[in-house]
Structure 1
Amino acid sequence: MRPGVAAAAWLATTGAAAALLPLVQGGGWLVQAGLLLAVLTGTGMVARRLAAPAPVVVAAQVVVSLLMLTVATVPQYAVGGLLPGPEAFGRFGELLSAGTEDIGHYVAPAPMTDGIRLMLLGGVLLIGLLVDVLAVSFGSAAVAGLPLLALYSIAAGVNQEDAAWPYFLVAAAGYLALLLAEGRERLGRWGRYFSGPGPARAPGYGAPGGYGRPPAAAVPARAAGPRLRAGGRIGALTLVAAVLAPALLPAMGSGLLDLEGGGSGSGSGGSGTISTVNPVVALQDQLNQPRNQEVLTYRTDGEAAGMYLRLVALDEFTGSEWRSSRWFENEIPPAPWAVPGLAPEVTARDVTTVIEASPDYAQTSLPVPYPAVSVVTDGPWRFDRGSQTLVSDSGRLTTQGRSWTVTHRQVEPTAEQLALAPAAPPNLASYYTQVPRDLPEVVARMAEEVTAGAADDHARAVALQDWFARDGGFRYNTSVSSGSGSEAIAAFLEDREGFCVHFAFTMAAMARTLGIPAQVAVGFTPGDRQVDGSYRVGLHNAHAWPELYFEGVGWTRFEPTPGQGTIPGYTRPDAERPDPAQPDPERPDAAEPERPEASPTPTGPEECDPVREAAACESEAPAAAGGSGGGPSVGPWLWGAAALAAVLALVGGPPLWRARVRARRLAPGAGAGAAWQELSDSAWDLGLAPLASETPRRTAARITAVLSLEAPARDAVHRLAQGVERELYAPAGAGGAGGPDDGPARDVRTALAGLRAGVGRWTRLRALLLPRSAVRVSHRLAERRLRAARRLRDLRTAFPGKTRKA
């Protein structure tokens, strides 16, 4: 039964689930999850109280968990609002799919969507079931820590907050409580604890007028005391040390002993300052960081999809590397800045974006959307004409904690405009098509093969992009060496495995061999949309992409890296281009098109959108075919009533049975034996289990000593013991201490008042709602089945022919 271990398992699971609080907005779901876990734990306790086998206990918990999850998430799709049917399971699938998309779309803290809520409640229930089975059914509280660790690890791995120690403390304390509860239960079974010379004594034992020596299990609460207190102190000190050690040790971060202040270093590891001189070298390290540490946030009044933030443009390919020519100008030109190659007939609108850098992100170049025509910020910045942004030559002037406002153009060329673009100016074309003399021949040859049949430069660029992203069999892998020279490009074409720098450098080099001006841009993809409308850019958004020049449009982005960023609309066939009236599946931040305020009433259930609220669907859909309409179906109500009755019987059955038995035993004339049985079962309900080997007098001595009864209750217990002995062994007609009618019943009530006064409130409540003695119901049912089987066997023996004929 082990109710203490079961309660500790509930506490440990709830504590571990609390680590998920920073991942979603609001904490109401944790209260609901705690209630669902409590029902799951209570179901297991009731099933074990009824001596059900472990598989039956687990099956009951699974069924109850499914019913609770249905009621909490999709009641409108369930039969009677409780029993899950095909519609409910179908809705479960839809919510799980939506929750997966929401997790991939939002960053912490994510809004509490229906899909995320289902995943949270279902996941916590699953972990709670595993913990309960391992800790209670199999008695392995230590092993039960594995699912708890899995739950906490998921939260800790996603949570980007530094102040995560309170959640660790709560989760670890819950697990420690589970271990201590199991230890208490085991020590209680082992027996008494002797603290010095001679046995520890309980009140009433060994004294004049005492009632004999107590059995070994008479003081289970005291048996575990010293050991458990020591174990609790050790666990508490361990938790304190685990929390304080990272703050005290300077090697683990900027803590109390880090007197030099916040440290900085190259790369992006840990929680220190992200300071990189060469963004190309740091890009691979940023992508491989386990935490997607925030570097930028921004707000824009334009479309964020496809709005890459360019940090630097690499225009020079030396054969050993791609690098920037650093065309810096001391004077920032007046706004608006000129945009190379952009013609008036190409659609372009001005957009304002406000960008703010994290205090830990120190870079000497301002990431901005391209093409920027104005950047407003404080400080003596210089203008980088090649990258169209502001830069600094001083390490003291960085982006760290700084904000800047960018006015930029959102250029929206069409595929036709790119296909009909005239040739680039000769000086620009000659510079941006240069390739090193030692460039492997495979680069040009492969470019010719991939673009064979393409009619113009735009078609050639699209063919290259599609070959890298889809048709060429390339795989994305951030563990490949990030070389950018000719040999690295040849190896990439041979192995067909790499990450964004390989795809960008190789496509740009192949485009140059075809006579298309090309360069490589390094920066960030648009990031993730937040609930407040802003966007968050993290280390994992670091990216490199090729830009090809088309006269009249200017530098144009392409996306050859499979599964990364967004594919520009001007590179898709007409059939694949997004409808402006529909959300773009490539854009995680695309909003759903607005619905008209009024819509015609649907003519059948099939026209009701299953994603909409169930109430709206039910109000719009007419009666199902085959029904007369005009009233609700009776079937769901019957199913719901039956399920509610089953739950009420499961929860209220034991207390009602116990009250009925008590009334029968204490009825006038029931006798001392029935009264003694009621006293024994009442003590059992309060935690003192009966021992079949004890005599009534020995049992009375144990009850009065362990529960420390006052004189009136103690005397009543002994009178009941004497009465039942007299009834069993004395001549007929000998009554109890209080008369044959109401004396034993009055003594039982006096004793029960003393028993209840000697225990805590929760023990009394548990005895009322979950009486241990209710297990006698299963015993009696087993006896009745045995008697029925015996009668049937005797009947077959007496009438063999008739029973076989029947």
Structure 2
Amino acid sequence: MSGRARVTLFAVLATLLTSWSLAALVDSSFWVLEAGVLLAVQGAVGAGARRVPLGRTLTVASQVLVSLLVLMFLFAGKGESTGSGPMAYLVTDFGALFRRGVADVGEFAIPAPLTDGIRLLLLSGVLLIGLLVDLLAVTFRTAAAAGLPLLALYSVAAGLSGGAGASWVSFLLAGCGYLLLLLSEGRDRLAQWGRVFGAAPSPRASSGTGYGGLGAASDRALAPVRTGRRIGAVALGIALAVPAALPALGGGLLGAQGGEAGDGGTGVGGTISAVNPLVSLQGSLNAQDNRVVLKYRTDSPQLGEQYLRILALDEFNGVKWEASGRALTDVPERLPAPPGLSGQVRQTAVEVRTSISAADTYAQRYLPMPYPATSVDIPGKWRFEPAGRTLVGDQLGRDRFQNVQGAMYTVRSLLLRPTAEQLQSAPAPDPLVKAEYTKIPDNLPAVVADTARQVTKGAKDDYARAVKLQDYFAVTGGFRYDTKVASGTGSQAIARFLADKEGFCIHFAFSMAAMSRSLGIPARVAVGFTPGEKQSDGSVNVSMRDAHAWPELYFEGVGWTRFEPTPRQGISVPDYSRAEVPAAQPSAPTALPSTGAAQPSAAPSKAEDCPPEAKKLGECGVAAPQPKGGSGGGGPSLVGVLGWTLPVLALLALPLLPLLWRTRLRGRRLATGQVLEAWTELSDAAWDAGIPPDEALSPRRAAARVVELGRLTPEAADAVHRVAEAVERSLYAPPGTEAAYEGLGTDVLLARAALLAGLDRRSRARAELLPRSAARLRWSAAARWSAVTAALAARLAPVSALLSRLPLRGRG
């Protein structure tokens, strides 16, 4: 392999190893294999173009063209193309996929699902970095500068994941790839001046040609190469060890130890930071470590209503739900009255006091608190947003904001108790509220509004319509709760969710809010936490998997009212949204069993015997879907544990197979007590130690050779000679002479121990784990194969002879 081809190969390898740092950003690593193939194709095209040779510009252009063509075929049919022909496909389809990928990156938490858009972004980015590395390292012969695009690739991975995806393994792989690239480029550069360091003739060749005196010079020639490798290894070790040894330095690009609000992501082991809580919601629900993020004590008489609300998403632009930009004010001592709340409902409300403490690992910029809060006592710099009634951390410095991390605060809030009659008789909402909170995007598919009208057919007021929408999602519509679904949050995603009928809380909340707006009911989406789990000491723990989203609908006189369309176990269904309908209506429609619900029980109950609220809680014949990875699961099964453990143990045992084989063979040979078997074992022990057998020597000469080359102690040398003498007696003594003696096996083991003791640590490990005498297995297999083929030929010989005597057509 030429020097430039070697540099090309290591440039591809360095890019591929560095791209592994991106693997933690998505939930599947299959794209890394695709990236390796694409990088190999790109590098091969560059090597071929340089071999022609083509100019630098044409070489890069050919690599770009081939990369685009490969991507075109790889993503054929993955997007919607409105044109015709290759150019229309490339421009229109790739542009749509790129936009979809960018939207998916902003929508999903890490690890994100490997959608086609995200996959295209990953592969295109890795190919671009690979092209830059190839250009710098191979075309311009500046491998050191090629570290800049590699560093950019690693930094992007660390930045997007908040440090969670950039583990020390990723850093080690990236560093090793870069060092190998430097070494290959240096080797190629030195080769242009003459003989490459490290290419000294072997000792056997030196002695045979009379140039044995070059041995010392060869060692000196090899020294710079060894020194460079050692410097690289030491540098990598220091880079890995110093952050771990000095925690005050933080993890840097190797991992986030904490962080200000605004970092984003939900890194395991670091700070849970989520300025946009929606982005981290799915990651929280699927988190492996269900960490407690909030603890609180409350005097609320209804713990099931103690939702901790973070913020309200009140603007739907067709791509996503988000909080609209509003003016912030100082936090007043007493918060203003909730919008739309009448005195009649306020009189039946109870003021609740809640003391909350946030974990040190929870860096949310928005303050979680019950709704509607009337006063908040919290240290730090906070601002108040009146429309959403949320507290937002103020700016503390450049890229630094106040957050809830480690804070202890007290919130006073109202526990509202509206009745179904009050909601049903609510007057028309304020025109300004209705105009703002019933806006729907122009690209909202017609199926959303059509489904809303179909579901609420026959309802005479907004309250009845809201209850019917809620029960459609939670009970009668056949929807399934699944936190692994990647349905998105835009207009098309809502239509897809209505068709697929599976998703988690954000999909249920977004869809009900959009459908409510299509019916003229003011609606928005709230994000926060369910009440959590009460502890034995009276406190309540709120964990990551308690993250939740729910729709809030506006009723004049009551204000913003929570509904629960998500069929999730453990959530609280508000009393006012139960199936009981006010007396003004004739009767409640009977809810039919869900045809899409998961796993019916052995004896499903009749629909008329099971009210909708019981179905939501999983108390009917149809089993409520269990959240995957929930805290209440029974853990992995024994079969699953064994299914993973046994292959891992088998994989770990593979390197020990030669050692186990030699140990078993040694014991079997020595157990026979036969001299020739013991001599074979002694010869193999010497062979494993680096002294190959020489069948041309007599036993006595062979023993002397083992003693001399193995530098054995006098005691071990005597043991070897005793075994050799026994072999000679066995071979040449008159029949009946006893060749074996009592300590034969002990002498063989003594000689073997002395041979291993004379080796350095690496050679001793080589002799134990990769014995050279294992070549006998190959010889034995070859001999058996030869015997099998000979026996088969012997059996087929009569058939062949018979066939040879048969007359052949056409002969003569």
Which TM-score applies when normalising by structure 2? 0.44
| Greater relative contact order (Cα < 8 A, sep 6+) | 1
